[in-house]
Amino acid sequence: MKVLITGGAGFIGHHTAIYLKSLGYDVICLDNLSRSSDEALRVLRSENIKLLVGDVTNYKQLDSVVSSASPDVIVHAAALISVEESMERPEEYVNNNVIGTLNVVRSAARHRISRLIYVSSAAVYGDPIKLPIDENHPTSPKSPYGLSKLFGEEVVKLYCRAYDLSSITLRLFNVYGPRQQLSQYSGVILKFIRSVRENLPLTIYGSGEQSRDFIHVIDVCRAVELSMMSPYVNEVYNVGSGKPISINELANLILNISGCKVGTVYMPPRSGDIIHSYADMSKANAYLGFKPTITIEEGIKELLEVR
């Protein structure tokens, strides 16, 4: 079975490519390299995975890739992904993520691709009004990024209704794992690990009692593969661990596992931060047969060893 992964040179995309290839899938990646890492490119090369350089916002270019690659499945992961950056540059996010998704879905429908997996985000929920967050929770994004992912979901739904396209939308919670790019917008796990490496205290915004749901990237790859096989299509599924961890607990875990004595410093809370968020995983469990396998302790140990 042939799989085309957009954003295949990004963090989740390249892990998915390697994972699917290891299971015997024929994998091709497409990426405009705007946010890819050298490490991801090196690993794709060493695994002999074909990478095409192209932009999903360019319909002609994308459609000719889909036409010549003729994949059975498209995993659409290409996107700009920072909440903070999207507040500063909203048009860029709407243009890249919404037009990009519209093009991918149009092309998938035109070439009668058997299945489209849309990689969406828990950012579509906004501030939770009940916990855990299930897929019926109202959507109310708090950023142009979240809005662009929600708009993408609507585009997928529309084309599935109109063109008999089969899709699965995965709303990922906080994904972490090896070879994630460190930037000013990176997630808290990467920032804490960098502090440990630099022997600096871990910076916590607010009380640290806010909680998040972290899922290891290999578990995300497993969810993608299960979605390629599942008969329960044209549905949205959460992909998280289903277990909240507070930022204080996370900091202590990283300090304990690393044996580092740098401690923590507290800064004022960041405006717009969600207080608590974690996924209700019963739907993905029931219909995709998905259960996360890597605990946060195992994932952190691995990161401290390899980075």
Ligand X SMILES: NC(=O)c1ccc[n+]([C@@H]2O[C@H](COP(=O)([O-])OP(=O)(O)OC[C@H]3O[C@@H](n4cnc5c(N)ncnc54)[C@H](O)[C@@H]3O)[C@@H](O)[C@H]2O)c1
Would you name the residues annotated as active-site residues?
Answer: 145
Rounded to 5 degrees, what angle do the CA atoms 219, 224, 228 make? 145
Q: Which is nearer to ligand X, 166 or 181 (CB)?
A: 181
List binders of ligand X among 108-167 (CB under 6 A): 119, 121, 149
Site map 21..40 versus ligand X, x via CB under 6 A:
----------xxxxxx----
Segment near ligand X (CB under 6 A); pick from 1-9, 243-251, 267-275, 286-294: 1-9
Q: How many whole angstroms separate alpha carbon 179 and alpha carbon 111?
A: 33
- By beta carbon distance, the residue nearest ligand X is 10
Q: Which helix (H) or strand (E) holds 235?
A: strand 235-239
Site map 65..104 versus ligand X, x via CB under 6 A:
------------xxxxx--------------x---x----
Q: How many whole angstroms separate alpha carbon 125 and alpha carbon 155?
A: 17
* Residue selected from 4, 5, 12, 43 as contacting ligand X according to rule CB under 6 A: 12
Cβ neighbour number for residue 198 with a 10 Å cutoff: 8
Q: Which is nearer to ligand X, 32 or 258 (CB)?
A: 32
Q: Residue 74 forms beta bridges with which residues?
A: 4, 116
Segment near ligand X (CB under 6 A); pick from 21-29, 170-178, 223-231, 277-285: 170-178
* Residue selected from 3, 5, 10, 225 as contacting ligand X according to rule CB under 6 A: 10
What six digits make up the tokens of 202?
Answer: 């871990």
Q: How many whole angstroms separate alpha carbon 192 and alpha carbon 208?
A: 13
Q: Is 181 in the site for ligand X (CB under 6 A)?
A: yes
Q: How many whole angstroms separate alpha carbon 260 and alpha carbon 83?
A: 30
As separate numbers, helices (DSSP H) first and strands (DSSP E) second, the chain gives: 12, 13
Shortest Cβ 178–ligand X spacing (Å): 12
